[in-house]
């Protein structure tokens, strides 16, 4: 050969030579075949063959790993195919309930997961998924002392020398008593949603020797249900034959029936000391179980019916105990100690709650029926071989199936076939023969992946056709969504062989695209650790929100069972949900339903008995109604006969949760007199609270009358009729109603006392209450409705229907009022005054401050509108229109978007109505956007809907509002401002800030008793006219406020009203002589008269920077809202 000539390796091989290529720059060695013996320490990471043309064929895909010319036995070694190790770890991590990395790694190192393919300690360390579901169930508070900044005396530490005989290490031992088989039990708190089987709680049991945690659902915490749950757990443990407890430790609150059942099972009962719950190991087990179960629930499909949560408990218990070690036998898992070794190949697990397609057998489907059905995976059956338990969407029942296609959203779908057992057994035999360890094979697969990427990159650079057998390429007709991860870079070109019969547990989905199209990667189903381009959010709420947006765009709404149930429950207030079928049942259906008729017939009978003359020995009478014959109704009253509507609700917080209420049809009652009732408004209540905190020694209490509308004697009787079939049999027999019923099946009643639905009930109840209070010396103000005082006692109160807000100085005065009410009504009194009209009150009498908040009201409002918390904080309650800098004129933004339907209009009206009370009570930052939405709700558009959602996002992301009042001299002060032509249709806006302060030239600020944020209906011709309009509006409100303050006993000097418009201030104070002001003559003449002549107001000017009313005149930028919110509201403190 010539120097530096090319050398043919093929020629050397043909002449019986062995060529060894060394790594890097070390060169190449050539040996005669008889002179070399290669002994590898590990199996080769890549193998190939030489075809008939003399070319070396090296596969780049695992499914092309053998030559077609090789023996069939060698081909079988690659038949048990798996996708990448990363996907395997993700899938099995989800199937085991999303445990933490430390827990999963410990279980693998202890050999608990040897039958799980690819789930080795090395693979877990390398590919453990940092999923949100793990954090949702297992996140804990950071421990103290981690990376401490405490200064340590290093010199002193270096000077310490070990002394002989001094202890340097501790050795800890666990001691278990062999004869004492101990178990512990305790119950969790209530689960947020009642299951379809009526379960609300979970009993958690711990067996100490095996370190085994078990769980059983409970319907209630009554003795009967606790006993049944305990017996279920004990029977399961006894059936295993491995554990039979003889010692039972539980809390000292255990009922006697449960303790007796424990003793009957030959167990000794031991109670923990009072208030020493930590002595019960089940307390800690509850934390462990709840963390695991919460992770499982966080990983279920968004469409999973959450009322099936108790069906997930068996497999949650299984996976939890697979991850725990036994105490007496630390080398095996807690599950193995109780049930023996777990075989994944016999009982394959999958992520609980994921969507599935299950096979429908030919005997169950029609000739052209679909071969699969929709459902959700619940668990894998312990009694069957490779059989899954699924929840069928169509029938809402469980079914055992042996063929399932998993649609989990984070990982590749597993496909289980009948050949798995044979292939897996053959693979293990091949590994044993070749000395291949389980963990090494996964490393080989990773090495193959790396080599494949190298060859892919090389082929792209040279753009040469590989010298291998050409396979048929597949092109996708539809593009696959791209999912790119930081640790992955998709190849520029991907070619895959034609798919064969799937015979693997976890197949990889083949994806091929044409060279001119964008390269895509397979869609991931198990969430990847990190994204190269972070999405808007990876939270569950954001995913649900994204799904809703997609469904709205497509016109096909996707709604989970829980969402649909909540929506329909709100829409149909008088219906009860059947947890098993999802059907909403009304009164008549409940009386006839085979499962519900007993309890609801009793509930209805209780309501009839309460309204009528009672039921002997069970229900006390109120004598509100009386059953009569039809001929007893006067002839002139037949046209007033109305109907009765029955409202059925389940109130779990009540002693009797099944509640039926009869309501009169008030729309058919023609009552001749006025039915209006004087009551206190929000302005009066706020001034009253200021008066309490500003009066030395005064305190606040509230009282509530029960059944205020009921039992009030009517001035004239009312009549109604009801079908005999709608009356429970117990009432028919008790009152002999078949004899009183008409031939067409109607029963007539006479109403002689107040009840729900009567339009005159409130008026009559108030008149009766007023007459009774007048007899005790209390009277209502003739000027301020809702304000009450006593003739001689220094006590005042405001009254809203039946809620009393009381200001008192002496306890004896409060006692006198309470006793006066108790003579006639059942009343509850809260002397601390913690809540009034849904407003939470935090009284700080020492510093003379009171804090108003409504967090529960806000949370309930957001739940009512199904509003999901957005990922980004909304700092403005309404979209801000950026000013056009440099323009001579700024124009309002006109809405030209499409009109929406009636349902959307109702939604806007509900939002404005619901949050208007919250804004007027504690959060004035919402007043301006609410007034804008209210102006648009008659003709809402798509932009209106977006603005409404913007407002809801603001309410959801801001902390609950807190308004604080400080003690003052109770002198009214007002800031007035206007926004000129800043609303649609050339409208201007009024802003006002009303507060109580001191009588000084510039009164210091206080919490607002009223904020004006309204649109001026008339078109203003100038800025000065708009300012005059704002002053007029605020001054008119000031007259009402002055009257309230004067009536309470707080004398008022001329009320200072601040404006930042010098022209308006000059006109009112007669320092500017108007000539062309006919359009605003009425306003400034009224203001002049009230200010100059009557001395009710004092108008003065201050610059706009000191104007607090400016905030309510326009829609500001988020930055301005952030700045002003801290000045208007107090920070929320729990």
In sequence order, what are the residues at sequence separation of 6 or more whose Cβ sits closer than 8 angstroms to the Cβ of residue 920? 682, 927
Residue 273 φ then ψ, to 5°: -60, 155
Task: Write out the two tokens for 850.
Answer: 């009171």
Q: Are 335 and 320 in contact (CB under 8 A)?
A: no
- pLDDT of the residue at 420: 53
- Maximum Cα–Cα distance for the chain, whole Å? 131
Hunting for tokens 């096979």 — which residue is that? 359
Per the document, the length of the chain is: 1134
Q: Taking residues 139-155, report their average pLDDT.
A: 61
Question: Dihedral of CA 257/261/262/264: which sign?
Answer: positive
Residue 631 φ then ψ, to 5°: -70, -10
User: Reduced to 3 states, what is the DSSP secondary structure of residue 528?
Assistant: coil
Task: Write out the two tokens for 953.
Answer: 């996002």
Q: Establish how many alpha carbons lie within 13 A of residue 143's alpha carbon, considering only the half-sphere containing its beta carbon.
A: 3
User: Reduced to 3 states, what is the DSSP secondary structure of residue 390?
Assistant: strand
Lowest mean pLDDT among 448-462, 516-530, 978-992, 1072-1086: 516-530
Q: Give, in order, the Cα–Cα distances in Å from 862 to each of 855, 915, 949.
A: 11, 10, 11
Q: Taking residues 934-938, report their average pLDDT.
A: 88
Q: Establish how many alpha carbons lie within 13 A of residue 948's alpha carbon, considering only the half-sphere containing its beta carbon.
A: 27
In sequence order, what are the residues at sequence separation of 6 or more whose Cβ sits closer than 8 angstroms to the Cβ of residue 394? 373, 374
Beta-sheet strands, E only, within 856-1000: 962-966, 971-983, 987-997
Q: Are 1005 and 1111 in contact (CB under 8 A)?
A: no
- pLDDT of the residue at 802: 87
Beta-sheet strands, E only, within 8-150: 17-21, 28-32, 49-50, 56-57
The CB density around residue 751, as the number of other CB atoms within 10 Å, is 22
Task: Write out the two tokens for 287.
Answer: 């934390």
Rounded to whole angstroms, the Cα distance separating 43 from 20 reads 16
Q: Are 982 and 1114 in contact (CB under 8 A)?
A: yes
Q: Establish how many alpha carbons lie within 13 A of residue 391's alpha carbon, considering only the half-sphere containing its beta carbon.
A: 25
Tell me the angle at which helices 855-864 and 902-921 cross, rounded to the nearest 10 degrees.
Answer: 180
The CB density around residue 387, as the number of other CB atoms within 10 Å, is 16
| Between 480 and 856, the higher pLDDT residue | 856
Hunting for tokens 């919490």 — which residue is that? 1007
First to last CA, the chain: 90
Q: Taking residues 422-435, report their average pLDDT.
A: 59
Task: Write out the two tokens for 290.
Answer: 């709840």
Q: Taking residues 703-710, report their average pLDDT.
A: 83
- Residues 601-620: tens digit of each pLDDT: 999 999 999 899 998 878 88
Rounded to whole angstroms, the Cα distance separating 570 from 567 reads 5
Helical H segments across 576-709, by residue range: 587-592, 597-611, 682-694
Q: Taking residues 452-459, report their average pLDDT.
A: 48
Q: Taking residues 348-376, report their average pLDDT.
A: 88
User: Reduced to 3 states, what is the DSSP secondary structure of residue 303?
Assistant: coil
Lowest mean pLDDT among 103-112, 136-145, 168-177, 368-377: 168-177
Question: Dihedral of CA 628/633/638/642: which sign?
Answer: negative
Q: Give, in order, the Cα–Cα distances in Å from 644 to each of 161, 647, 722, 921.
A: 91, 10, 7, 36
Q: Are 1028 and 1083 in contact (CB under 8 A)?
A: yes
- pLDDT of the residue at 459: 43
Q: Are 220 and 200 in contact (CB under 8 A)?
A: yes
Rounded to whole angstroms, the Cα distance separating 712 from 720 reads 18
The model's pTM: 0.51
pLDDT at 809 > cutoff 90: yes
In sequence order, what are the residues at sequence separation of 6 or more whose Cβ sits closer than 8 angstroms to the Cβ of residue 614? 620, 621
pLDDT at 1085 > cutoff 50: yes
Rounded to whole angstroms, the Cα distance separating 802 from 761 reads 12
- Residues 1013-1065: tens digit of each pLDDT: 888 877 777 888 888 888 989 999 999 999 999 999 999 999 999 998 888 88
Residue 248 φ then ψ, to 5°: -125, 120
pLDDT at 536 > cutoff 70: no
Q: Which of 825, 578, 828, 569 has the alpha carbon at shortest distance from 702?
A: 828
Q: Are 1088 and 1070 in contact (CB under 8 A)?
A: yes
- pLDDT of the residue at 437: 44
User: Reduced to 3 states, what is the DSSP secondary structure of residue 664?
Assistant: strand
Name, of 151-160, 486-495, 875-884, the range with top average pLDDT.
875-884
- pLDDT of the residue at 885: 66
Q: Which of 490, 487, 489, 486 has the alpha carbon at shortest distance from 532?
A: 486
DSSP bridge partners of 215 = 204
DSSP bridge partners of 1043 = none
- Residues 198-253: tens digit of each pLDDT: 999 999 999 888 889 999 999 998 889 999 999 999 998 888 887 888 888 887 77
In sequence order, what are the residues at sequence separation of 6 or more whose Cβ sits closer than 8 angstroms to the Cβ of residue 370? 360
Q: Are 519 and 513 in contact (CB under 8 A)?
A: yes
Name, of 276-280, 290-294, 1071-1075, the range with top average pLDDT.
290-294
- pLDDT of the residue at 472: 37
| Between 1106 and 176, the higher pLDDT residue | 1106
- Report angle CA 1103, 1105, 1109 to the nearest 5 degrees: 90
pLDDT at 18 > cutoff 80: yes
Rounding to the nearest 10 degrees, give the CA dihedral for residues 153, 154, 159, 165.
Answer: 80
| Average pLDDT of the chain, as a whole number | 78
The CB density around residue 160, as the number of other CB atoms within 10 Å, is 7
- Residues 732-741: tens digit of each pLDDT: 999 999 999 9
Task: Write out the two tokens for 145.
Answer: 């002392």
Q: Taking residues 126-139, report their average pLDDT.
A: 82
- pLDDT of the residue at 76: 26
Q: Taking residues 581-597, report their average pLDDT.
A: 84
- pLDDT of the residue at 432: 57
- pLDDT of the residue at 1079: 54
- pLDDT of the residue at 497: 36
pLDDT band at 37 (very low <50, low <70, confident <90, very high): confident
Classify 949 in phi/psi space as left (phi over 0), alpha (psi -120 to 50) or beta: alpha
Rounded to whole angstroms, the Cα distance separating 886 from 186 reads 71
Q: Are 445 and 84 in contact (CB under 8 A)?
A: yes
- Residues 663-704: tens digit of each pLDDT: 998 888 888 888 888 888 999 999 999 999 999 999 999 999
pLDDT band at 1129 (very low <50, low <70, confident <90, very high): confident
Q: Which of 1041, 878, 855 has the alpha carbon at shortest distance from 952?
A: 878
Reduce the secondary structure of 459-473 to three states and give it as a string. HHHHCCCCCCCCCCC
- Residues 464-502: tens digit of each pLDDT: 434 333 333 333 333 333 333 333 333 333 333 333 333
pLDDT at 546 > cutoff 60: no
pLDDT at 109 > cutoff 70: yes
């Amino acid at each position: 050969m010539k120097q530096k000539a090319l050398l043919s390796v093929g020629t050397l091989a043909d002449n019986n030579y062995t060529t060894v290529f060394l790594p890097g720059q070390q060169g190449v060695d050539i040996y005669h075949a008889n002179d070399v013996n290669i002994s590898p320490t590990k199996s080769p990471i890549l193998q190939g063959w030489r075809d008939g043309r003399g070319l070396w064929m090296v596969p780049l895909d695992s499914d092309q790993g053998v030559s077609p010319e090789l023996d069939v036995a060698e081909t079988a070694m690659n038949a048990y195919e798996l996708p990448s190790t990363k996907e395997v770890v993700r899938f099995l991590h989800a199937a085991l309930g999303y445990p933490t990395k430390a827990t999963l790694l410990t279980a693998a190192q202890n050999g608990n997961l040897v039958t799980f393919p690819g789930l080795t300690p090395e693979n877990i360390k390398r590919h453990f998924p940092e999923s949100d579901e793990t954090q949702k169930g297992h996140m804990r508070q950071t421990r103290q002392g981690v990376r401490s900044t405490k200064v340590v005396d290093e010199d002193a530490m270096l000077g310490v020398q070990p002394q002989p005989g001094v202890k340097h290490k501790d050795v800890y031992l666990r001691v278990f008593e062999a004869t004492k088989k101990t178990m512990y039990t305790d119950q969790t708190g209530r689960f947020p949603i009642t299951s379809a089987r009526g379960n609300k709680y979970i009993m958690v049991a711990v067996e100490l020797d095996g370190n085994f945690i078990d769980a059983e659902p409970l319907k209630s915490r009554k003795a009967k249900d606790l006993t049944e749950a305990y017996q279920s757990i004990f029977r399961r443990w006894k059936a295993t034959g491995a554990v039979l407890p003889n010692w039972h430790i539980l809390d000292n609150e255990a009922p006697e029936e449960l303790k007796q059942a424990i003793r009957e099972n030959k167990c000794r009962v031991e109670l923990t000391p009072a208030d020493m719950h930590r002595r019960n190991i089940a307390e800690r087990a509850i934390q462990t179980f709840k963390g695991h179960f919460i992770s499982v629930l966080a990983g279920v499909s968004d469409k999973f019916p959450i009322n099936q949560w108790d069906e997930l408990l068996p497999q949650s218990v299984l996976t939890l105990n697979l991850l725990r070690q036994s105490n007496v036998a630390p080398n095996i898992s807690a599950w193995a100690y109780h049930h023996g070794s777990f075989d994944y190949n016999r009982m394959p697990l999958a992520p609980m709650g994921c969507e599935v397609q299950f096979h429908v057998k030919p005997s169950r489907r029609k000739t052209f029926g679909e071969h699969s059905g929709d459902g959700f995976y619940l668990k894998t059956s312990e009694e069957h071989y490779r059989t899954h338990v699924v929840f069928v969407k169509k029938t809402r029942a469980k079914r055992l199936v042996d063929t399932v296609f998993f649609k989990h959203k984070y990982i590749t779908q597993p496909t289980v076939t009948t050949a798995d057992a044979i292939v897996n057994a053959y693979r293990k035999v091949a590994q044993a023969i070749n000395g291949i360890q389980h963990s090494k094979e996964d490393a080989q697969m990773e090495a193959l992946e790396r080599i494949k990427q190298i060859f892919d990159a090389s082929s792209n650079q040279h753009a040469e056709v590989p010298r291998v057998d050409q396979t048929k390429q597949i092109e996708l007709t539809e593009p696959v969504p791209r999912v790119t991860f930081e640790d992955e870079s998709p190849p520029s070109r991907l070619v895959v062989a034609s798919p064969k019969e799937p015979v693997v547990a976890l197949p990889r989905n083949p994806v091929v695209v044409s060279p001119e199209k964008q390269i895509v990667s397979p869609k991931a189903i198990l969430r990847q650790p990190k994204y190269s381009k972070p999405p808007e959010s990876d939270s569950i709420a954001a995913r649900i929100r994204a799904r809703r947006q997609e469904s709205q765009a497509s016109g096909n709404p996707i709604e989970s069972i829980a969402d649909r149930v909540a929506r329909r429950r709100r829409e149909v207030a008088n219906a009860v949900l059947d947890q098993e079928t999802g059907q909403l049942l009304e009164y008549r259906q409940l009386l006839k339903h085979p499962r519900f008729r007993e309890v609801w017939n009793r509930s209805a009978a209780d309501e009839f008995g309460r309204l009528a003359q009672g039921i002997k020995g069970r229900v006390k009478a109120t004598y509100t109604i009386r059953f009569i014959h039809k001929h007893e109704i006067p002839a002139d009253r037949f046209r007033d006969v109305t109907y009765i509507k029955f409202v059925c609700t389940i109130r779990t917080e009540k002693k009797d949760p099944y509640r039926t209420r009869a309501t009169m049809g008030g729309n058919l009652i023609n009552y001749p007199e006025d039915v209006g009732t004087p009551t206190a408004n929000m302005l009066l209540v706020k001034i009253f609270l200021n008066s309490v905190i500003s009066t030395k020694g005064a305190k606040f209490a509230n009282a509530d009358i029960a059944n205020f509308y009921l039992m009030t004697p009517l001035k004239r009787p009312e009549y109604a009729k009801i079908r005999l079939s709608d009356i429970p049999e117990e009432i028919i027999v008790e009152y002999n109603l078949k004899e009183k019923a008409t031939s067409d099946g109607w029963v007539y009643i006479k109403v002689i006392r107040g009840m729900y639905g009567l339009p005159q009930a409130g008026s009559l109840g108030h008149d009766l209450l007023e007459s009774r209070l007048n007899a005790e010396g209390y009277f209502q103000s003739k000027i301020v409705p809702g304000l009450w005082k006593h003739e001689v006692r220094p006590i005042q109160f405001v009254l809203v229907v039946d809620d009393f807000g009381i200001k008192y100085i002496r306890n004896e005065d409060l006692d006198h009022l309470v006793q006066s009410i108790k003579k006639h009504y059942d009343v509850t009194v809260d002397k601390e005054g913690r809540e009034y009209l849904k407003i939470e009150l935090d009284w700080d009498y020492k510093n003379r401050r009171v804090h108003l908040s409504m967090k529960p009201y806000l949370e309930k409002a957001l739940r009512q509108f199904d509003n999901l918390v957005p990922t980004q904080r909304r700092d403005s309650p309404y979209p801000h229109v950026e000013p056009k800098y440099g323009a001579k004129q700024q124009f309002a933004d006109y809405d030209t978007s499409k009109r929406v339907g009636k349902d959307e209009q109702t939604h806007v009206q509900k939002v404005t109505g619901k949050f208007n009370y919250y804004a007027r009570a504690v959060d004035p930052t919402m007043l301006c956007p609410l007034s804008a939405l209210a102006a648009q709700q008659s003709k809402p558009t798509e932009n209106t809907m977006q603005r409404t959602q913007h407002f809801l996002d603001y309410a959801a992301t801001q902390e609950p509002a807190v308004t604080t009042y400080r003690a003052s001299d109770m002198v009214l002060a007002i800031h007035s401002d206007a926004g000129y032509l800043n609303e649609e249709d050339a409208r201007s806006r009024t802003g006002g800030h009303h507060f109580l302060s001191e009588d000084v030239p510039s009164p210091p600020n206080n919490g607002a008793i009223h904020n004006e944020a309204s649109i001026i209906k008339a078109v203003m011709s100038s800025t000065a006219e708009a300012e005059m309009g704002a002053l007029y509006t605020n001054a008119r409100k000031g007259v009402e406020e002055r009257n309230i303050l004067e009536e309470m006993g707080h004398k008022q000097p001329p009320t200072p009203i601040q404006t930042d418009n010098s022209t308006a201030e000059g006109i009112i104070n007669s320092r500017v002589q108007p000539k062309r002001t006919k359009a605003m003559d009425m306003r400034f003449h009224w203001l002049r008269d009230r200010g100059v002549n009557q001395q009710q107001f004092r108008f003065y000017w201050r610059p706009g920077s000191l104007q607090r009313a400016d905030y309510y005149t326009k829609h500001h930028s988020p930055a301005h809202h952030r700045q002003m919110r801290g000045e208007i509201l107090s920070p929320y403190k729990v």
